């Protein structure tokens, strides 16, 4: 018998919509539709649970359940109060509300969250004489209010904490990359799990760890909890089955993952994080200077997240431009036959890598707009081609 399906929206970062859609199709989603920083699809409860457990490039998985127009805050309050909230929670449950607004009428998302909360708790007080309390950190039910112009969409947030919190990273370096972005970059790079993957400026090791989890098909959410586990309709048997299936789908892979950094502390932190993620057996860690390194295999993929010259300065170099020039020279001289991807928020410095990018993707690292650029490093003359600037 077919299980009932419903609309689900997975949120992501700008630039990762297509990799997220591909992940969703592989998980069995139907009616997959790309939005900005999100993907809409249909699925049943099993897919909802699997989405949270297995998606690498999603930040949140939402279940929209109500949509209406509101022209002002009184209308918003009334429409929210008209919903039967006993479908989703009881006065004993705790509640949190996240709001995002893209609207000229509703300009303060915090105020929208407050009005929505008032409408819900007022309904409970009227009906039962008691009201659910607010817990912003670990609520039983987390709601999402999204307003675009006059259209209000209410969703249940099935994830709880954002999905980049895989809970393997306790130790942090100075500018760690978020796990969703790191996984997205590995998927965008097209690394197949068979070739060598090198992160020569690994910091806290996020790119290598996410690559190892991807290649070993380890569910990124296997060590954490999710919002839906506290819902009144939570199906613990289905959840156990979903987790068992994901565990059984784990595999070994043949590619090598090499992570290194100039800073010995970063290497130590990366190793600790990889152990916690259960992937250290797939990875090699070493301390070393990228500018003194060379390829140990004939082909492979490098992913570099160098300092941008804003949050971090390159070691032993005050000027970011010669540093990026040297990255290009190092790649040309010592990594012929490899593919290299560089992500940076410093567009000016990127121009000085001195190689022609074969792909460019706009992404964000936190609030910083970045480019992820691919370079194909050929033997001999072709690799010497200068970028026209």
Ligand X SMILES: C[S@@+](CC[C@H](N)C(=O)[O-])C[C@H]1O[C@@H](n2cnc3c(N)ncnc32)[C@H](O)[C@@H]1O
The residues of the shown chain that bind ligand X, judged by CB under 6 A, are 173, 175-177, 182, 200-204, 206-207, 261-263, 266, 289-291, 305-307, 312, 314-315
Nearer to ligand X, 80 or 202 (CB): 202
**What is the C-alpha to C-alpha distance for residues 185 and 250, in angstroms, rounded to an integer?**
21
Nearer to ligand X, 203 or 357 (CB): 203
Q: How far is the CB of 175 from ligand X (least distance, A)?
A: 4
Q: How far is the CB of 339 from ligand X (least distance, A)?
A: 18
Nearer to ligand X, 145 or 181 (CB): 181
Q: How far is the CB of 265 from ligand X (least distance, A)?
A: 9
Nearer to ligand X, 80 or 258 (CB): 258
Q: How far is the CB of 260 from ligand X (least distance, A)?
A: 6
Q: How far is the CB of 342 from ligand X (least distance, A)?
A: 11
Q: How far is the CB of 303 from ligand X (least distance, A)?
A: 8
**Apex 350 CA angle, 345 and 354, nearest 5:** 170
Nearer to ligand X, 44 or 289 (CB): 289
Find residue 209's DSSP bridge partners.
Answer: none
Nearer to ligand X, 323 or 375 (CB): 323
Nearer to ligand X, 66 or 174 (CB): 174
Nearer to ligand X, 95 or 283 (CB): 283
Q: How far is the CB of 107 from ligand X (least distance, A)?
A: 35
Residue nearest ligand X (C-beta atom) = 203
**What is the C-alpha to C-alpha distance for residues 178 and 360, in angstroms, rounded to an integer?**
20
Q: How far is the CB of 109 from ligand X (least distance, A)?
A: 29
């Amino acid at each position: 018998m077919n299980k009932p399906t419903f609309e689900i929206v997975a949120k992501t970062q700008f630039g990762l919509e297509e990799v997220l859609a591909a992940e969703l199709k592989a998980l069995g989603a139907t009616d997959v539709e790309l939005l900005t920083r999100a993907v809409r699809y249909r699925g049943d409860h099993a897919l909802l649970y699997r989405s949270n457990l297995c998606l690498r490039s999603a930040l949140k998985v939402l279940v929209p359940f109500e949509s209406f127009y509101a022209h002002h805050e009184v209308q918003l309050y009334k429409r929210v109060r008209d919903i039967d909230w006993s479908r989703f929670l009881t006065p004993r449950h705790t509640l949190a509300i996240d709001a995002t607004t893209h609207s000229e009428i509703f300009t303060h998302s915090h105020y929208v969250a407050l009005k929505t909360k008032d409408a819900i708790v007022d309904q409970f007080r009227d009906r039962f004489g008691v009201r659910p309390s607010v817990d912003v950190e670990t609520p039983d039910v987390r709601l999402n209010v999204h307003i675009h112009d006059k259209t209000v969409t209410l969703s249940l947030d099935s994830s709880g904490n954002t999905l980049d919190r895989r809970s393997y990273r306790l130790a942090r370096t100075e500018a760690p990359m978020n796990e969703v972005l790191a996984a997205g970059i590995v998927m965008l790079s097209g690394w197949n799990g068979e070739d060598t993957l090198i992160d020569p400026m690994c910091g806290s090791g996020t790119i290598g760890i996410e690559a190892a989890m991807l290649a070993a098909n380890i569910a990124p959410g296997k060590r954490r909890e999710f919002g839906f586990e506290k819902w009144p309709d939570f199906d613990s048997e289905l959840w156990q089955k979903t987790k068992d299936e994901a565990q059984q789908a784990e595999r070994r892979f043949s590619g090598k993952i090499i992570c290194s950094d100039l800073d010995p502390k970063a290497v130590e932190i990366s190793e600790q994080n990889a152990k916690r993620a259960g992937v250290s057996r797939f990875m090699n860690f070493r301390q070393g200077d990228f500018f003194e390194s060379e390829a140990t295999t004939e082909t492979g993929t490098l992913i570099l997240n160098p300092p941008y010259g804003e949050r971090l300065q390159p070691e032993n170099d005050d000027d970011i431009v010669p540093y990026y020039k040297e990255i290009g020279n190092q790649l040309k001289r010592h990594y012929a036959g490899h593919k290299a991807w560089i992500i940076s928020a410093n567009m000016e410095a990127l121009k000085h890598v001195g190689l022609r990018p074969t792909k460019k993707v706009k992404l964000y690292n936190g609030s910083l707009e970045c480019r992820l650029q691919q370079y194909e490093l050929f033997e001999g003359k072709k690799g010497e081609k200068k970028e026209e600037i």
